Structure 1
Amino acid sequence: MLLVKRGDRGPRVIMIQGILRSMGSPISIDGAYGPGTAAAVAAFQGRAGGGIAADGTVGLATWAAMERLSGYRIINVVDAEDAAQRQRVCSGLTRAGGDPIIMHGMSNAVMQAMDEVCNRAGGSGGIAMVRFYSHGGPGIQNVASGHDAGNMGHLSGISVQHFPAMRAQFERLNDVLAPFGCVDLMGCSVGEGAQGTALLEGIADAADRPAEAGIQVQYSQDEGYKVFNFEGPVRQCYPGRRSRVAWGQRVQGWMGATRRRA
């Protein structure tokens, strides 16, 4: 349920590299989708079968094979309060094999969403990404309030202003996200400016995983890959204000230590 290709950089590339490494690939984790990553993906495609073209690009069929063979999954959380947007998003997700968590209007929606994410994860580190769909703004990602950013005080969405009250909810992701996992906020302009940066830094530090969001309007159209990917530039923040490369090195060392303990 995503498109990751040569030239991409960031948390999604680290996620793909981590999954490949978990299945035995010697690939280095640096968050840059270059020739080495494309070759590793093509090798996986050749082994996966099912008629997948060995083109070195992670599209819907390749991601489905990765989920099936690695056991790592994406969990999508969709706000139901804007019926038109919900229909567009859910149509694309379900056609791609997804089973999104649907959030109806409520207070404490962030806690309720995290409860469901953790329930579906089953307490394991088998989640590659948690992705939130709704409307947004700089430093704001609605979760169960449609267009109404005024409900942030009731914790019906994620906002930089109220993040201290919901930090503990994102800390719960430590137990369910894979070492190479990430959090994506798909609302419009969530990553824009100082407010967007502050929110993403807070999430990254609490979850101890990268967080990313678009800087411009996100249309979430049910057309091709639009519902799965960001439109335009993306703000990416890594735990502890690390760089992409430094975070990739940490993940690679983390995975090596886990294998040695096993």
Structure 2
Amino acid sequence: MYSLLRYGDRLPSVVAVQILLNRKMRQGAYLVVDGIYGAKTREAVHGFQLEKGYLIADGVVGQSTWRALSEGENLQVIDSVDLTQSKDMGYEDAAIRGAGGVPVVNFGMCNGVQEAMRQIQAQAGAGNVVLLRFHGHGSPGSMGVAVGTGSEISSEFGVTFLDSLARFVAPLAGIFAPFGSAELHGCRVGAGRDGQRLVSALASAWGVPVTAGVRRQLGGGLTTFRFEGPTFTGFPWGGDLKGWARSLPVPEVHGMSVSR
């Protein structure tokens, strides 16, 4: 599995790419780790692709480039897909499987959110998840996870029950890599004050950045692996993308610390 990233992206998942590039680039070469896919990151991706020889050298992190970057790293990308509300989500399920992933697929059940959390924990290795993505329907401050019976918390991540939600999702905190993050790929989940509150609450519960789109999101094909339009990211202790990136442990690269 992979995240589709390119020039102009400003995301926590770009931090993961920059760290992996620093681990694999030739001696003496390094990137500032800041989460911004700028010209230098694009050049580094292009150089990595050329060095490998079998990758398309386009400066874009797609499926093959991600696989090469993460080779030997014991990292996981996990996708959770809500198939209970619309057949449209089936396109995302198919795209994930076509890229070699095995998504957590959520159908109707007594407690949808809790069961989805259990399945994700069962699939994840402790400290290995570099990206956790949720695919489903959304609205500002609400992300569909799996239709359940009873209260709303059995079906979605929602801003109206943040205290209860934090207890439900907190067990996932242990699955993430130090530079891991989560993404909510429902329509307009991160929009407005409610969207920002939900995303920030999940970030605090999991201890990693959480990103959601603020506009309508498309599904299926390559759109499954990236956001449509602008996003909002919440961070565990507030702050911003650069601040979070700087707070991460600095990896060693060929015996030399990465310069920021």
**TM-score after normalising by structure 2:** 0.87
Secondary structure at the counterpart of residue 212 of structure 2: strand
Aligned-residue offset at 1:152: 5.2
**Corresponding letter in the other structure for 1:228:** F
Equivalent-residue separation in structure 2 for 1:151 and 1:77 (angstroms): 21
Give me the CA root mean square deviation.
2.3
Q: Which residue of 1 aligns with 2:71?
A: 68
User: Within 2, Cα distance between the matches of 1:154 and 1:172?
Assistant: 16
Q: Which residue does the alignment assign to 1:108?
A: 111
Output the amino acid matched with 2:146. A
Unaligned runs of 5+ in 2: 256-260
Q: Is the 8 A contact 2:135 2:186 kept in 1?
A: yes
Q: Which amino acid aligns with 1:246?
A: G
Residue in 2 that maps onto 1:142 = 144
Letter in 1 for 2:4: L
- CA pair 115-48 structure 1, distance change in 2 beyond 3 A: farther
Output aligned runs, 1:220-235, within 5 Å. Answer: 220=219, 222-223=220-221, 225-235=222-232
Secondary structure at the counterpart of residue 227 of structure 1? helix
Paired residues, number: 249
Instruction: Name the structure where helix makes up a greater proportion of residues.
Output: 1
C-alpha contact 2:153 2:161 (8 A) present in aligned 1: no
Are 1:80 and 2:83 an aligned pair? yes
Distance 1:162 1:107 in 2: 18
Decide whether the 8 Å contact of 2:76 with 2:131 is kept in 1. yes
Structure 1 CA distance for aligned equivalents of residues 35 and 169 of structure 2: 23
TM-score (norm 1): 0.86
Q: Within 2, Cα distance between the matches of 1:172 and 1:250?
A: 23
**1:153 and 2:157 correspond:** no
Q: What is the deviation of 1:85? A: 1.7
> Does the 8 Å CA contact 1:12/1:31 hold for their aligned counterparts?
yes
Matching of residues 20-39 of structure 1 within 5 Å: 20-23=21-24, 26-39=30-43
Q: Which residue of 1 aligns with 2:133?
A: 131
Q: Does 1:54 align with 2:92?
A: no
Q: Where has structure 1 moved over 6 Å in runs of 4 or more?
A: none
In the TM superposition, residue 83 of structure 1 has moved relative to its aligned partner by: 4.6
* Aligned-partner Cα distance in 1 for 2:71–2:100: 11
Equivalent AA in structure 2 for residue 179 of structure 1: P
Work out whether residues 152 and 159 of structure 1, in 8 Å CA contact, stay in contact via their aligned partners in 2: no
CA distance in 2, matches of 1:197, 1:238: 10
Q: How far is 1:76 from its partner? A: 0.2
| Structure 1 unmatched runs, 5+ | none
2:48 aligns with 44
Contact 2:114–2:168 (8 Å) recurs in 1: yes
Q: Percent identity?
A: 31
